Amino acid sequence: MTDTKVYLLDGGSLVIDGYHVFWNRGPAGEVRFPVYSILVEHAEGRFLFDTGFDYDHVMKVLPFEKPMQTKEQTIPGALGLIGLEPKDVNVVFNSHFHFDHCGGNKHLPDAKKICHRLEVPQACNPQPFEHLGYSDVSFSAEAAEARGMTDQLMAGTTRANSTFEGIEGDVELAKGVHLIFTPGHSIGHYSLLVEFQTRRPILFTIDAAYTQKSLETLCQASFHIDPVAGVASMHRVRKLAEEKDAELMYSHDMENYRTYRTGTQFYG
């Protein structure tokens, strides 16, 4: 059996203010941060975690985030760099449905789709302060219909091919591929722990901690539904990394991201 391989699919970058990255702490000023998806090549299949942002959506709805994205940084483009096509992905798992984590789902109609059982309902009916976060509903015909935003649906996206299997709590999706329930940033947020045969595990915080400094200072992003749960999730991530001797990787940390393997390079 071949060992698990993890590829990071570079998805371009966005800009937000420092006070959004570090809630009530800052400092203020534009922070450009990376967005990426995680492809796990596993004996049980090809699993894609998150799908980045859609450039046109951000330009239309959140142009102040100044998106930068080349063709190679879209889901089809990034998969193409490693010789794959969207139809080669067996399972898509979304950590949550903020626009920078689900924008490429529309390219993956054939994959099985999984998320926390409360995330689709939340995208259908977000809190007033979550509307921009959940502004790209092209991943789900159900959410697009509920929000009156079916104009976002790409031709070919139907209820049948955009229905999610809902899970709750921690789940081992495939052997050594662990979904770690870390709510707070969103109602059904997950982090991801991947174990290998020949190297240390990797713990992807996803948006439980945007950056290394976030985790070290327990300072979450200003975007959240439950900041108290968010702090508890950060404690949980820290403890799990220690117990598993896992390498931590952060979702939106440009300084660390520059040291991560992307493109054709992989972990495993």
Is residue 50 a contact point for Zn ion (CB under 5 A)?
no
CA distance 259 to 212: 13
Shortest distance (Å) from residue 8 CB to Zn ion: 14
Binder among 54, 65, 130, 207 for Zn ion (CB under 5 A): 207
100 is catalytic: yes
Which residues in 79-108 contact Zn ion (CB under 5 A)?
Answer: 100
Beta carbon of residue 196, minimum distance to Zn ion (angstroms, whole number): 25
> Whole-number minimum distance, CB 187 to Zn ion, in Å?
15
Catalytic residue among 10, 50, 100, 207: 100
Q: Which stretch binds Zn ion (CB under 5 A): 72-80, 149-157, 206-214, 227-235?
A: 206-214
In whole angstroms, the minimum distance from the beta carbon of 207 to Zn ion comes to: 4
Token pair recorded at residue 76? 């089809």
Instruction: Identify which range of 12-20, 117-125, 164-172, 202-210 contacts Zn ion by CB under 5 A.
Output: 202-210
Q: Given the complex with Zn ion, which of 157 and 211 has the nearer CB atom?
A: 211
Count the residues of the shown chain that bind Zn ion, applying the rule CB under 5 A: 2
Could you tell me the CA-to-CA distances from 141 to 50, 82, 124, 194 in Å, in that order? Answer: 18, 30, 10, 30
- Hey, which residues are catalytic here? 100
Binding site for Zn ion (CB under 5 A): 100, 207
